Amino acid sequence: MIVTGSASQALAAALARELEEPLAPVSYDRFPDGELLAAVPGFDADRAVIVASTVSSEAHLELLQLQDAVREAGAEEVVTVLPYMGYGRQDKAFDRGQPISARAVARAISTGADRVLTVNPHEAAVCDFFEPVAETIDAAGRLAEPLPDDLAEPVFLSPDAGAIELAETVRDAYGEGDVDYFEKVRHSGTEVEITPSDVAVEERDVVVVDDIIATGSTMSEAIAVLGERGVSRVFVSCVHPLLVRDAYAKLSSAGVEAIYGTDTIERPASAVSVAPTVATHLE
């Protein structure tokens, strides 16, 4: 049976259709002190596949409860799919006294799961924090699907060297185009500086590909740089459309043609589902 976290309902339903497995109803309650109680009253299967993006601290707790609840209800195998792993970017102690939050949450999730799968983690190394090691699902190819068929001499650009493989994957899935990357220097949580790449972009359509759009600072800076260089249209694509704060407004003011993300995080920009790719790991 498929069990959905409250932040991953569309994806869980799509996965249930792909795998032809039923969706278990989840009930929610709160105690007078505000504590959450997520339960699976109708769960009845040997395998539980829990699909839960941990987009908030509450979503983390809900996942831990669901893992425990299915085990209590008789699941022999608990598979946890983290479409988006929250706290995954806190993968180091950047200063003395700081936690490695990705490791802390991975340890907690591992205690209730026999298998953990996560979609395009920001750093593959976070998978090692799980016990057993989490499996990585590369769903970036899905991002080619919503792109228009008529891209003019497309260029697929990543905003930094770390995301070039994503840009390559999307280009390969699209079927044509050049691939390049910008140099990015981050000055703060919302300030980034992008240095243009050498590839010729004048009068060409550009697709900027990244794993995550959070505040939109990286993408809007990339769009601004491209605008100065006479591009035709700029599309932005990401696996995880977090799109926090004024990200939509920033991208829109920067002149983006369209924003395409997947349903690892459910947002208006979630134009394509990763369910078919996730399903291949669960059949």
Say whether 92 is catalytic. no
Binding residue count for ligand R5P, defined by CB under 6 A:
13
**Rounded Cα distance, 197 and 211, in Å:** 19
E-state strands within 1-40:
2-4, 23-24, 27-30, 36-39
Distance CA 40, CA 170 (A): 38
Residue 214 CB, shortest distance to ligand R5P, in Å, is 3
CA distances from 149 to 54, 146, 180, 268 (A): 34, 9, 21, 21
Answer whether 236's CB lies under 8 Å from 267's CB. no
Please state the closest distance from residue 26 (CB atom) to ligand R5P, in A.
30
Cβ–Cβ < 8 Å for 110, 138:
no
End-to-end CA distance of the chain: 13
State in angstroms the smallest separation of the CB of 210 from ligand R5P: 5
Tell which residue, 230, 100, 82, 225, has the closest CA to residue 157.
Answer: 225
Q: Would strands 47-51 and 77-82 be described as parallel, antiparallel, or unpaired?
A: parallel
Provide the minimum distance between the beta carbon of 59 and ligand R5P in the complex, in angstroms, as a whole number.
Answer: 18
CB of 49 to ligand R5P, least distance (A): 27
Provide the 3-class DSSP secondary structure of residue 187: coil
Per-residue string for binding with ligand R5P, 176-195, x by CB under 6 A? Answer: ----------------x---
Q: Scanning residues 202 to 261, which ones bind ligand R5P (CB under 6 A)?
A: 210-218
Nearer to ligand R5P, 83 or 159 (CB): 159
* Nearer to ligand R5P (CB atom), residue 62 or residue 91: 91
CB nearer to ligand R5P: pick between 4 and 220: 220
Q: How far is the CB of 267 from ligand R5P (least distance, A)?
A: 13
Name the catalytic one among 122, 142, 171, 184. Answer: 184
Site string for ligand R5P, 156-175 (x = CB under 6 A): ---x--xx------------
Smaller CB distance to ligand R5P: residue 14 or 163? 163
Strand segments (E) across 121-248? 135-137, 155-158, 178-181, 183-186, 192-195, 206-213, 234-241
Distance (Å, rounded) from C-alpha 265 to C-alpha 249?
A: 19
Residue with smaller CB distance to ligand R5P, 16 or 192: 192
Residue with smaller CB distance to ligand R5P, 40 or 251? 251
3-state secondary structure of 76: coil
User: Which residues contact ligand R5P by CB under 6 A?
Assistant: 159, 162-163, 192, 210-218
Which residues are the active-site residues? 184
